[in-house]
Structure formats: C-alpha cells, structure tokens
C-alpha cells in the first residue's frame, strides 16, 4: 500500500545514508512484512495505532525482544517522516508509545522458553556431534569466546593454545582461561583435517585445505567453493553454519526450537551470572543488579549488558 510514498521515503533514506544498499534492503523487507496488515486494515503502517502494531509484532512470531525493538525503531523513523510530510491524520507516532514490557509480551513464548541452555544442555549438544569444529564453536560461544563478527573463533590458531587451559586471543591482546573441556575441543579441532558426515545412504568425508592446518576452526575445504580468508563476513557466515549445523542435526531429547547461536552465547552469560553469584554468596538477581556484574560480563564476554533487554528475555530464570 502507498508504494509511491514508501519509494519517496527510501529515496530520503538513500540520501541520508549516501547510498548504502543495506539500508534500502532492510526497509524493503520491512515494508513487505507489514503489507498484508496494511491491506487488511486498509491504511498505511504509519497510521497504525498501538493495538494494531502489537498484533503485527505478534504475527512476526519472533523470540527476540531486541528484534522487535529494532523494527519498532525503524517503523517509528518512517512514521516520523510521514508526519513531517503531513501524511498521518492524527499526527502521532504510535510506535514510540510501545514499551519494552509490551514488546516482551509480543514474542513467541513457546520458543522463548527454550532460549536458556544450562551447561549440561550444552555438553549434551556437543556430545551429539562428531565434529570438533562444531563442539568448539558451540562451547566457545557459551564460554564467551566470540569477538566482533565471531573474530575470536575465526582467528584462533594452534599457536594460541597455551598451557594450563589458557588461550591467547589476539583481539583482546591477552590470555584467557577456558574450561578443560573447551581447551580439549580446541586442540582436537586444530588436529582435525577431515570430518566425516553420516548420511542416510553412506558416510561422506570432507577434507580441509592444507593452508588451514594451523587454524583451530577450519573454514576452507578442498571440494568447496573458493574462500578468501580475508573476507570477514564470509568467514563469519561459515562459523555460523558450523555451529548451526550441530543444532540442526541434534536428535536427542532436548527441545531446541528457537535456539540459535546468539541464544547459546546469551545462555553462557546467564550461566556465568549464576556461577558468579554462587561464588560470591549472592542471589542471582542481587548480583545481576550490581555494578560488578556489568564489569565482569564485559571482561569475559566482551559485551555490555543492557539490563532491561536482558531481563525481558531471562527474568524468570533470575528470580
């Protein structure tokens, strides 16, 4: 609906962001998602009121409050522009009236309940795969080895595996102590030059390029599509696929619907909060609300916690 109006808005955004393709593609997808609701309500999304906006957010069926908050911000920007163009009858941006609590009520609760994995859950997931690359990615994220665009996993080399469960992370410029289990996964992955996948008809063995022999998480295979190791985003995609493969192929009793690599990483943060609060003889929520938690999580996971967003997903576990 109102394609010409939206085209004008995209042109306006294009000028603001100097032709960045990602900006236009994000909004094109956004407008495609809400188009069925516009048709049903017979009005532009800039004119939606709060109940209609919340109905749409529930329709998206996402497990992430952060995702909804991002979409809320994008629609609010579009609506503000429409108001400036005198295209909104009541002259109000109802997207900005939506609260965090309302967003939290709009996520998929069934999938959301599966977002927290205990350490034992993660161990079971790791045990379900014969690939040490997959084990290393899953448990590595759980223990906070991530970095920007998964760089800490991408750049880890055999020489970075030091003694006494210590690894050297170039991005941080220092050593980090990991669990004995993760350290062993890293060592086994570094030695892994083939991986055999079990299929319905026969097993298939994949061979890694010899140029990958010094890397812990190997990304290039002999029979695969050519890969430029300097391509950061392609490397990130490949790491993501390695970890996601373990989740996809898991056939045990755990319900992993809604579980993604990001939720494994955040589960690790939650587990860290539980373990540290126990060590400090504090209730989990007491530790969570302390300044120390912000400092220690940032130190270990390289992430600054936004308490309101984290609570919107995991408050039930902390109380």
Does the model's pTM come out above 0.75?
Answer: no
Q: How confident is the model at residue 21 (pLDDT cuts 50, 70, 90)?
A: very low
The pLDDT tens digits for 175-215 are: 999 999 999 999 999 998 877 655 544 456 677 777 778 89
Hey, CA dihedral for 313, 311, 135, 171, is it positive or negative?
Answer: positive
> What is the C-alpha separation between 153 and 281, in angstroms, rounded?
33
- For residues 135 and 182, give the distance between their C-alpha atoms in angstroms, rounded to a whole number: 8
Distance (Å, whole) CA 157 – CA 215:
4
Bridge partners, 161 (sequence order)? 167
Q: State the pLDDT at residue 33.
A: 86
3-state secondary structure of 272: helix
Q: What is the pLDDT of residues 98-155, one digit of tens each?
A: 998 898 888 766 555 557 889 999 999 999 998 999 999 999 999 999 998 899 999 9
3-state class (DSSP) for residue 60: coil
Share of the chain above pLDDT 70, in %: 88
- What average pLDDT is seen over the chain? 86
Q: CA 118 → CA 12, 64, 278, 296, distances in Å? A: 46, 19, 15, 20
pLDDT average, residue stretch 14-34 = 72
Burial 223-261 (b: 16+ CB within 10 A, else e): eeeebeeeeeeebbebbbebbbbbbeeeeeeeebebbbb
Choose the weakest-confidence range: 181-185, 219-223, 234-238. Answer: 219-223
Contacts of 219 (CB under 8 A, 6+ apart): 154, 212, 227, 229, 235, 238, 239
- In angstroms, the CA 59 to CA 57 distance is 5
pLDDT for the residue numbered 256: 80
Q: How much is the pLDDT for 202?
A: 47
């Amino acid at each position: 609906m109102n394609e010409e109006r939206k085209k004008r808005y995209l042109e306006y955004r294009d000028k603001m962001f100097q032709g960045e393709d990602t900006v236009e593609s994000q909004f094109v997808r956004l407008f495609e998602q809400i188009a069925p609701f516009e048709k049903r309500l017979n009005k532009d999304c800039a004119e939606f009121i709060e109940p209609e906006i919340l109905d749409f957010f529930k329709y998206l069926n996402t497990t992430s409050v952060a995702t909804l908050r991002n979409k809320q911000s994008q629609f609010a920007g579009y609506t503000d522009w429409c108001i400036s163009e005198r295209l909104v009858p009541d002259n109000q941006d109802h997207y900005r009236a939506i609260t965090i609590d309302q967003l939290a009520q709009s996520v998929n609760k069934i999938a959301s309940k599966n977002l927290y994995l205990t350490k034992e859950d993660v161990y079971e997931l790791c045990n379900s795969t014969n690939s040490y690359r997959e084990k290393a990615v899953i448990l590595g994220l759980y223990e906070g080895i991530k970095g920007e665009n998964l760089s800490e996993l991408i750049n880890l080399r055999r020489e970075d595996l030091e003694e006494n469960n210590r690894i050297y992370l170039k991005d941080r410029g220092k050593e980090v102590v990991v669990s004995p289990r993760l350290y062993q996964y890293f060592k086994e992955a570094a030695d892994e030059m083939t991986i055999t996948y079990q299929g319905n008809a026969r097993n298939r063995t994949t061979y890694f390029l010899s140029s990958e022999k010094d890397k812990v998480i190997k990304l290039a295979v002999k029979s695969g599509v050519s890969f430029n190791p300097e391509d950061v985003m392609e490397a990130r995609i490949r790491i993501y696929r390695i970890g996601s493969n373990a989740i996809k192929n898991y056939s045990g009793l755990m319900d992993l619907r809604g579980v993604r690599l990001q939720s494994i990483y955040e589960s690790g943060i939650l587990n860290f909060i539980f373990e540290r609060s126990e060590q400090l003889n504090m209730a989990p929520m007491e530790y969570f609300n302390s300044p120390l938690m912000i400092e220690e999580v940032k130190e270990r996971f390289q992430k600054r916690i936004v308490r309101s967003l984290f609570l919107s997903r995991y408050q039930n576990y902390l109380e």
